[in-house]
Structure 1
Amino acid sequence: MTLTFQNINIFAQLERETELYRHYQLDEVKDRYDSNFIEFLSNPTLSELQAALVYLQHKHRQSGRQFLKVVFPQDEEIPIELHQYLLSNQFGIGSLEMYAIKPNVFTREPICPEVTIEFVSPRTLEGYLEIHYKDALQWGESYAQARSAMLKRDYELKRTAQIVAAYNGKVVGSLDVIESANSAEIDNLFVLPAHQKKGIGTKLQQFVMKHYSEKIIILVADGDDTPREMYTKQGYSYIGKRFSALKTSLG
């Protein structure tokens, strides 16, 4: 099975598709960068990039979105001319790396016996929503409220499998799993700061490996964050990388 970023779920609707790009949009959470963007199918010329940004800015101003995001093809560097143009126009450049693992490779050593892992239920839903709401507040209350509503709909509609870690009966971490025919994608892996570096993230993943043992487990990590180093130590294989550009204010 050949894995690429096309195996990663995009939680959005396809708004427009051309020979050059796909435009994704999510009205549920208008401020969610990862659901409202243009994905280039091949590297554009400078004039093509400029035209795409004009189109996206027009659409975002109409809908009240105050940012612009574009994603470039996997394993391709952003051409220097485009890179310089983006930086000169207040875009930040970032990257995501994709990893995959077979469940039987992941560590099975017992860890955190005081922490219990389970699928979200009516009993744990409130705690699950609360930790994500508090984390999302760093991007503003309106975003946090919209994200909380989306996660609740995910639960009600069973759009994802939501899993929580509890310590002394209180939810302290969670992750979501998006299942496809051959893979299971780990998304939104989060542990409260006060409970990090205790192995809770590892125990959450062990739960995934057990319940999705016939799948290839995939995930993406920020190319500049240290969690990606943890994934390689855990046995994940590097699949690829892709760059993106984000402007957080339209002025």
Structure 2
Amino acid sequence: MTFSFKDIEHSKSVVKETSLYTHYHNETALFMYIENYVIFHRVPTFAEFIEAEAYLKSAHQKDNQDFIKFIWPEDCEIPQPIISYLGSNDFSLDVLELYAALPGTFEPTRIDETPSDVKVEWVNADNRSAYLALSARADKEVSEEFAKQKQPYTQAKFDNPAFRPIVALRSDEAVGSIDLYLKEESIEIDNFHVAVDSRGKGIGTALQQFVMDHADGKTVLLVADAADTAREMYNRQNYTYISFRYELLKVFK
């Protein structure tokens, strides 16, 4: 089976859909970039991009959103006139890469260094509070306000039947977690996080090994930032590169 970025999209409210783009919007998470954006179905002309920018800016201003975000078509380059425009108009440009691994081909790293007092479990009623506490600490690395805003959003993810997070525990404290989305043919790894004081100790690999051990033959998918050194680790672990896409963000000051 061939996978693409469409296999990691989660359901959101569609505000507008045209032959050029779809506008996604989440009224319960207006502050989240990943929940509010326009995704292009094909590469727009310069004039079409300017028109889409004006539309999205106007739509977001109505909800007091201080940003606009665009997702480019998969495996498509951005034309130079638009690149020049982005550079002179305070857009940031990220390149994301999609990777896949079959459980039988995964090569763990540093698994022998995992502390013996750390165990990995599915998030359940007994450890959910520890998982949420770790999520809140991770969000506070962005800001206290962001962490406060995100609490209801994190809780709401449990309403999605495909959402199955896992957590690494030392005693009763969470030291790492992964949000998993289980689908018919694949499992998506999202929000892969290890506590700052527990990094470099094999906990991340132990979390991934748990995913592989419970994948039931499904392909494991994850997205890496092309500028992130973690992608080198994924290559060593036998993840296979599938595709890339650009994400454009402008935050208004």
Identify whether the pair has TM-score above 0.5, normalized to the shorter chain.
yes
- 240, 246, 251: which one pairs with 2:249? 246
Shift of 1:51: 0.6
Task: Check if 1:184 corresponds to 2:183.
Answer: no
Q: State whether residues 11 and 26 of structure 1, in contact with CA within 8 Å, keep that contact through their aligned partners in structure 2.
A: no
Alignment-derived partner of residue 16 in structure 1: 16
Preserved contact between residue 112 and residue 202 of structure 2 (Cα < 8 Å): no
Give the C-alpha shift of residue 7 in structure 1.
1.0
Distance in 2 between residues matched to 1:79 and 1:19, nearest whole Å: 19
Question: 1:88 is matched by which residue type in structure 2?
Answer: S
State the alpha-carbon separation in 1 of the partners of residues 153 and 17 from structure 2.
25
Instruction: State the distance in 1 between where 2:194 and 2:181 align.
Output: 19
In the alignment, does 2:148 pair up with 1:145? yes
Q: Give the TM-score normalised by structure 1.
A: 0.94
Residue of 215, 235, 239 corresponding to 1:236: 239
Aligned-pair CA distance for 1:156: 5.1
Shift of 1:167: 1.6
User: Which residues of structure 2 form unaligned runs of 5+?
Assistant: none
Identity %: 35
Contact 1:29 1:143 in 2 (8 A): no
SS of equivalent to 2:165:
strand
State the Cα distance separating 1:11 from its structure 2 match.
Answer: 4.9
In the alignment, is residue 196 of structure 1 matched against residue 238 of structure 2?
Answer: no
6-15 or 111-120, which deviates more: 6-15
Deviation track 1:56-76 (CA, whole Å, cap 9, x = no partner) reads 011111112111111111111
Corresponding residue for residue 138 of structure 2: 135
Map of 2:75 onto structure 1? 75
Cα deviation per residue 1:11-62 (whole Å; 9 max; x = unaligned)? Answer: 5222211000111111222111111111111111111001101110111111
Counterparts of 1:121-132 in structure 2 under 5 Å? 121-132=124-135
For the residue of structure 1 that corresponds to 2:60, the secondary structure is helix
Q: Is the 8 A contact 1:11 1:35 kept in 2?
A: no
- Looking at structure 2, the residues matched to 186 and 245 of structure 1 have their Cα atoms a distance apart, in angstroms, of 22
Partner of 1:217: 220
**Alpha-carbon displacement from aligned partner over 1:198-247 (angstroms, at most 9, x marks no partner):** 11111111111111122100010111111111111001000011111111
Alignment correspondent of 1:59: 59
Map of 1:7 onto structure 2: 7
Q: Give secondary structure in 1 for the equivalent of 2:56.
A: helix
Q: Give the drift of 1:159.
A: 4.6
**1:176 match: secondary structure:** strand
- The residue number in structure 2 matching 1:167 is 170
In 1, Cα distance between equivalents of 2:146 and 2:45: 34
1:39 is matched with 39
Report the alpha carbon displacement of residue 155 of structure 1 after superposing the two structures with TM.
2.6
Aligned with residue 208 of structure 1, among 208, 211, 226: 211
The answer as to whether partners of 2:96 and 2:224 remain within 8 angstroms in 1 is yes
CA contact (8 A) 2:162 2:183 kept: no
Displacement of 1:110: 5.1
Runs (5+) with no aligned partner, structure 1: none
Structure 1 window deviating more from structure 2 (103-112 vs 56-65): it is 103-112
Taking the TM superposition and a 5 Å limit, the aligned residue runs for 1:82-121 are 82-107=82-107, 112=114, 113-121=116-124
